[in-house]
Structure formats: structure tokens, C-alpha cells
Structure 1
């Protein structure tokens, strides 16, 4: 049990063909949380070798998946293991995120302040590439928001028992939107904590010049563009056009400007996104 908080907090890190710096991320997480469940979505020898330095720690449990089961199922595997082991909170990360000192205490304080209707609690984001806090991530204290990205998000046992885990059918992209909006639909309130910072990288973060400015390309694959378009439509159909939609529209518009003007294989990505949108319209919820 975490001596600073009096609550048992388990970290979950999702790995997929990880690079060596994932070990630093896990060590930073271990300095804050009680234990870490490392979910390996690429169970090959190369990935095992990268994970070996932290897998030897007795506070780390490696959960090897049968293959790339997706972001939602991967997070869920770690969350189930943590809850089954008695965790009061589960704190989840992708492999491109790095904990900063004192983050957990700030997230837990915000959760306590929110009371019984506390939903998902997550940090503000700082660019891994530039070291600068994103403009939309600046503020003071904690503020209620519609959606939060999954990486860095803190979930209480009570919340997860009420709303369930991630929707595994979504596989990747908008998985975080769906669980955030589901929490709100169940009467919980999600908060972004601005004095808790997460260093995060979106895609490749490849620097280029665009219209006289330095920008960073994500270079997402056509497969990712398919899932983003499909799942965006699914989430709209489930939850409607709320504040989250207009924030996402602004982000998506900027992303597509970079795709169209500077990324390679743009027509392949356009076709993939078109197929994804059509698949989203045809998707049948169970």
C-alpha cells in the first residue's frame, strides 16, 4: 500500500514493439505507484528483451497477450489484473508517456476533492518533442472536462465497477473518448489536473516546416486513419454532438491539414478514412 496515500495504486503500461526508453517510463511509474502491470501486445523475443530490465523487478508483472489485441483489450487486461489483486486505483499509460514527479499525489488529491461523483482524473499534457505544455492543456488546479486521453488517466475501483472497462470492439482510437463519455452518462465528473503534467508523444512527432511554422507530423498509418474515422462516427452516434465533439473537430481539422499538405501516402489515408467513416455508420452496437 502506498505510504503517501494510504490507497493501493497499480500502474498499467501497454507495450507494442517498445523502444528502450519504456524502461525509464516504468521506473518513473514505480517511484509513484505500488506496482506495475506491463501488458505486452507484441510477445516476440525482441520485445521481451526490451522489457527484461524492468520485468525482473518484483513489483512488475508482465502480462503477455496472444498478439496485438489492441489498446482497449490491452488496457483491460492490465486493469483486470490490478483489480483482481486488490488495487483501489488503476493508473494507465501507453509506452510513449512518461510520469513526472508528484503526479500521483496531485491526481489523488483532485479525486478526493471531487467526492463521490469523481470520474476519470487525468493530467495535463506536455509535448515530449518540445518540452512545452500544449496550449489547450494550460490552466490552474483541476477543471471538469468531457473527455480525457487514456494515457496518464487514474480510475478508481468504484468508478470501474459502475461503468465497466474499455470497449474492446473499438480496438484503438476514441477508446478514451468512449469511456470518458460513458462515465459522464453514468453521472460521474471527469477532471483534468493542470498541476500534474504528463510528457506525451503523439505518433512519430516528426518535425517539418509548414506555412513558415515548425509543426510535428504524427504520420499515422492508413490502418490508424481507418480506426480514427470509424470510431469517431461510432462515438458521435452513441453520445451526440457535445462539447467534446467541437474540441475534437478542431484537433482533427489541424491533423488533416498536416496529412494533406505534408504527409506521404495521403490518398491512401484519405481512402482509409472514408472506408472507416462508412464502417462507423454501418456499425451495430450490441
Structure 2
């Protein structure tokens, strides 16, 4: 009969999720976490400067192993997760969007690649859409085009018929769910907070792979994602950060001829096309968002940003 390892012999996983004005959505995630079968984890909820402090509501739910960290300001996706990491005790950090629902054996399955391959630094689950539970959002990533700055998730919008059941290395982690080893933080550093929203996981993935780690797609692990609940499907803020950070990401990670070709493509074709589209539709706020994104890049040189500590309170 196989021996069962004591809980303290198992790696501690710190599950970190960021809340921003979505207490009920976050509680839905925490409710699903009750069903996790892995016994050794903690949950850290980072509130990113919400209008109302969700601490009392979350703690009243008596969810397992939960603590709440309240930031006085919105630190963005990168800053909120970094704040959670700094307060985590785990051997692994599981960055998980608050608008997801987990499945029972998720953590065991995500840990398996680390046990089988010591070069693995990040493990990501298969992601399906919550509202279309048989439709794939992520089954790994295609490589990035150094000339257009575009990549896309493998299997996106396909019906899951078991066509992506082969685990293995992939190019990028998905920001909605990624299990990261403590060793990654020591060698590749934290998420870059200059991105604030969008492209930060692609930038981090680049640095993680440059540090010698593999990013692994694990199809036996599964979550469901309510995509874009925090920002919405289409609005000026989304346009601003997508425009700003696509350019910023390429400036940070590509150089030489590929970067020149990207400039010609992006500034000579993609951006003008967007400007014409928003002009025809009379969407002045979207035009202003694109303009602001370009101005931001003109004002910022490519160098690691200095992180600043924000006041926080902790409830356990």
C-alpha cells in the first residue's frame, strides 16, 4: 500500500489572486477553491484599491487558508501580483485571475511537470471559457513574430475534442493562471510593473526563458475563465494599454532589423488603420487613447523601472 506524504512534506503553494471592485467574482473563485484536493496551500487575495474594502466579506466566507492584503492604490496586474508574492510563503506561486473557476485536482497536475523536469519554471493549465465550457481559450502559445509583435494562443476558440492533450514546453505563460517556482523569482525577477495591464506575462515569459527555464503547458490541469470581467471587452482603457504595451514590449524584447520592420508595420500600417477605424465610428475617446499610448512610449526609455512600495494593510 502506497504511503501518503504528510502535508508538511508537500510543497506549499501560495495561490495569489487580485481583486478590483469585484468582491462577488472573487468569492466565486474562493468558493471553487474549497474543492481543491491538494492539501498544502495558502490563498492571498490582493485588493487593488477597490472602492470598498472586501476584507470583511471575504473573511466572513470562511474560505480555506485565506488572507487579504489591501493596497491603498490600484497597482495594476503586475503590481498587485508582485505585492501578493512579497507576502507569500510558498515554494510555488500560483498567479490566478479572480474571474476563474478551478477544478479539484488542478494543483497536483500543475506540480507534476516540475517533478518530471527540473528545467521547468512555470506550469500553465488548459483554459476554457466559463460561458462556453467546451471552448478552448489557451492550450499553449504560438511563437512570437519579431516583425509584427503578434502571437496567439493555441486552440483559441476551438471546441475541445482532446486535440491538445499532449503536455510540453510552450512559448508563453497565460496571465490568467500560471504556477511559478520560487527559483524563477530569484533568477528572472518579478513581473515588470511598467506594463500595469496587458503584455506583462509575455514580457515575464521572455525573461523566464532567457534565465534558462521552460514554460510548460499541462493539459491535465484545467480552469474556466470569465474573460475580461475587470476591464470589459472593448473600451478606451483597453485600447490604450494594448497599444501602449505592444509597442513597449517590442522595444524591450526585440532589436536590430526585426524592431525596425516592426516599427514600419505597426506605426505605418496597424496604428493608422486603427485611427481610421475609430474616426469613421466617431470614437474620439479611442483616438485619444491611441494618441496617449504613443506619447507615453516617446517619453519612456527602455530600462528596468524602479518599484515603489505602496502602503498596505494585512488581514489574516
Q: In which range does the TM-score fall when normalised by the shorter chain?
A: 0.7 to 0.9
Equivalent residue number for residue 70 of structure 1: 76
- After superposition, the Cα gap between the structure-2 partners of 1:60 and 1:146, relative to the gap in structure 1 and judged at 3 Å, is same
Equivalent residue number for residue 20 of structure 2: 16
Of 1, 5, 11 in structure 2, the residue corresponding to residue 7 of structure 1 is 11
Give 3-state SS (helix, strand or coil) of 2:202's partner. Answer: helix
Equivalent residue number for residue 309 of structure 2: none
Equivalent residue number for residue 93 of structure 1: 96
* Alpha-carbon distance in 2 for matches of 1:109, 1:10: 16
- Contact 2:100–2:226 (CA under 8 A) maintained in structure 1: yes
Matched, 1:283 2:300: yes
Equivalent residue number for residue 221 of structure 1: 235
Matched, 1:233 2:247: yes
Structure with the larger RCO, 1 or 2 (CA within 8 Å, 6+ apart) = 2
Following TM superposition, the consecutive aligned residue runs of length 4 or more in structure 1 with deviations greater than 4 angstroms are 264-267
- Contact 1:233–1:281 (CA under 8 A) maintained in structure 2: no
- After superposition, the Cα gap between the structure-2 partners of 1:109 and 1:49, relative to the gap in structure 1 and judged at 3 Å, is same
Equivalent residue number for residue 26 of structure 1: 30
* Alpha-carbon distance in 1 for matches of 2:244, 2:133: 32
Matched, 1:268 2:272: no
Give 3-state SS (helix, strand or coil) of 1:67's partner. Answer: coil
The TM-score with structure 1 as length reference comes to 0.78
* Alpha-carbon distance in 2 for matches of 1:39, 1:231: 23
Give 3-state SS (helix, strand or coil) of 2:194's partner. Answer: helix
* Alpha-carbon distance in 1 for matches of 2:108, 2:283: 43
Equivalent residue number for residue 113 of structure 1: 116
- After superposition, the Cα gap between the structure-2 partners of 1:273 and 1:119, relative to the gap in structure 1 and judged at 3 Å, is farther
- Contact 1:2–1:8 (CA under 8 A) maintained in structure 2: no
1:215-253 CA-to-partner distances (Å, cap 9, x unmatched) read xx95333122111111111111222369xx9xxx9xxx9
- Contact 1:9–1:35 (CA under 8 A) maintained in structure 2: yes
* Alpha-carbon distance in 2 for matches of 1:58, 1:134: 29
Give 3-state SS (helix, strand or coil) of 2:117's partner. Answer: helix
Structure 2, unaligned runs of 5 or more: 138-153, 156-162, 304-316
The TM-score with structure 2 as length reference comes to 0.71
- After superposition, the Cα gap between the structure-2 partners of 1:107 and 1:4, relative to the gap in structure 1 and judged at 3 Å, is farther
68-77 or 273-282, which moves further after superposition? 273-282
Give 1:129 shift: 1.6
Give 3-state SS (helix, strand or coil) of 1:168's partner. Answer: coil
* Alpha-carbon distance in 2 for matches of 1:57, 1:191: 29
- After superposition, the Cα gap between the structure-2 partners of 1:268 and 1:196, relative to the gap in structure 1 and judged at 3 Å, is same
Equivalent residue number for residue 201 of structure 2: 176
69-78 or 189-198, which moves further after superposition? 189-198
- After superposition, the Cα gap between the structure-2 partners of 1:171 and 1:21, relative to the gap in structure 1 and judged at 3 Å, is closer
1:44-78 CA-to-partner distances (Å, cap 9, x unmatched) read 43634543434x45711100001211111100111
180-189 or 134-143, which moves further after superposition? 134-143
Equivalent residue number for residue 209 of structure 1: none
Q: Which has the higher helix share?
A: 1
- After superposition, the Cα gap between the structure-2 partners of 1:141 and 1:281, relative to the gap in structure 1 and judged at 3 Å, is farther
- Contact 1:229–1:274 (CA under 8 A) maintained in structure 2: no
Structure 1, unaligned runs of 5 or more: 206-216
